[in-house]
């Protein structure tokens, strides 16, 4: 079974600075998808960024980028120019690429609570 580990329960960053959230995962598969989700306080969980394992290029979405190290099974999220609205719980998630298995399950880490200091 796949597992996802987020080793930082809480982190903080100064506004306008850069912060990196770590995520490692365990799998025997070669085809899979990785996600970072953001859950602001009392608000809906939304997708921040997605990475397909077969792509060597790291995904980027504006101020958000990932460092995907497939061999090391590491998938960290970098937030540049942090803003107050970035304060939230961040969840790393794994999804098998085996569509024939018929499973759409996402496996989530426990989350990292990010605080942004004005």
Q: Does 35 bind other proteins (CB under 8 A)?
A: yes
Q: Which of 51, 82, 109, 116 binds other proteins (CB under 8 A)?
A: 109
End-to-end CA distance of the chain: 41
Minimum distance from CB of 39 to other proteins (Å)?
8
Strands (E), 1-118: 3-5, 10-14, 19-21, 24-26, 32-39, 46-52, 60-61, 64-69, 74-79, 88-96, 106-108, 112-117
Name the 3-class secondary structure at 32.
strand
**Rounded least distance, CB 91 to other proteins, Å:** 7
Q: Using CA atoms, how far apart are residues 70 and 86, in angstroms rounded to an integer?
A: 26
User: In angstroms, rounded to a whole number, what is the distance separating the alpha carbons of residues 13 and 19?
Assistant: 6
Check binding of 12 to other proteins (CB under 8 A): no
Residue identified by tokens 């937030």 is 79
Site pattern 50..89 for other proteins (x: CB under 8 A): x---------------------------------------
- The CB-of-57 to other proteins minimum distance in angstroms stands at 16
Based on the shown chain and the rule CB under 8 A, indicate whether residue 103 belongs to the binding site for other proteins.
Answer: yes
Number of residues that bind other proteins (CB under 8 A): 23
Instruction: Give residues in contact with other proteins (CB under 8 A).
Output: 4, 33, 35, 37, 43-47, 50, 91, 95, 99, 102-111
């Amino acid at each position: 079974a796949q597992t996802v580990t987020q080793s930082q329960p809480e982190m903080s960053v100064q506004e306008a600075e850069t912060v990196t959230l770590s995520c490692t995962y365990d799998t025997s598969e070669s085809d899979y998808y990785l996600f970072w989700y953001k859950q602001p306080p009392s608000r809906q969980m939304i997708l921040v960024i997605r990475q397909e394992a077969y792509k060597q290029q790291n995904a980027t979405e504006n101020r958000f980028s990932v460092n995907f190290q497939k061999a090391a099974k590491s998938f960290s999220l970098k937030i540049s120019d942090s803003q107050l609205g970035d304060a939230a719980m961040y969840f790393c998630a794994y999804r098998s690429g085996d569509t024939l298995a018929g499973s759409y399950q996402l496996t989530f880490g426990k989350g990292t609570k990010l605080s942004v200091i004005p």
